[in-house]
Homo-oligomer: A and B are copies of this chain.
Amino acid sequence: MKLYDTNRAPNPRRVRIFLAEKGISVPLEPVDLGKGEHKSAEFTGLNPRQRVPLLVLDDGTAIAETMAICRYFEALQPEPNLFGHTPEEQGLVEMWQRQVELDLFYPIMMVLRHLNPAMAQMEVPQVPEWGEANKPKVLAALGFFNDQLADRAFVAGSRFSVADITMLVAVDFLRVIRTEVPEHHTHLKRWYDVVSQRPSAKA
């Protein structure tokens, strides 16, 4: 098996952190987005959407999409559990994971992709007004999740889950749009201090 990976993008990091939490080691195959290696005929044959991360199994099966790759490994090696045990916990982890994606991770991406000239070839067409429209969404989401973390330790409940991985990568990704968690979001900052010190955060 082989994991196509790249250093600077946030989605591949989500998978690397997930694997580190599981204690799973997978051979990494670097893809240089700057050199356009994700648009090569070979890579496009594996993933027509031309995105990393991409997991290729020994039989050639290619699994794209960050959460799909994580689901594969969760099924392969259920513990330590990162998607929830009971039906209720599974529902809540999926709910929070998606809300962090939709309300924070995705708006950060829209600000970057529609306002940064360096993204002009990746986002066609860039719509600067849409990038601007997402700036207040990012700030609103930070406030919302700060409030949520007032009375629980982790994003989806009392223990670490894949929802925390998405949140950690999103918060670290704020730097690309020159934004920081406001000082008065003390709950979010407390959560960040805890989660960013887990060994997996270095992945």
Residues of A within 8 A of B (CB): 48-49, 55, 57, 61, 63-65, 67-69, 71-73, 75-76, 84, 86-88, 90-92, 94-95, 98-99, 103, 125, 127, 129-130, 133, 144
**Distance between A111 CB and nearest chain B CB, rounded to angstroms:** 13
What distance in Å separates the Cβ of A109 from its nearest Cβ neighbour in chain B? 12
Complex contacts, A95 vs chain B, CB 8 Å: 63-65, 68
B residues less than 8 Å from A127 (CB atoms): 127, 129-130, 133
Q: Known contacts A129-B127, A133-B127: does B94 contact A68 (CB below 8 Å)?
A: yes
Number of this chain's copies in the assembly equals: 2
* Neighbouring B residues of A86 by C-beta, 8 Å: 75
CB distance from A69 to the nearest CB of B (A): 7
Q: Take A87-B76, A99-B49 as given contacts and tell me if A61 and B92 are in contact as well, using a CB distance cutoff of 8 Å.
A: yes
Specify which chain B residues have a CB less than 8 angstroms from the CB of A67 in the assembled complex: 94, 98
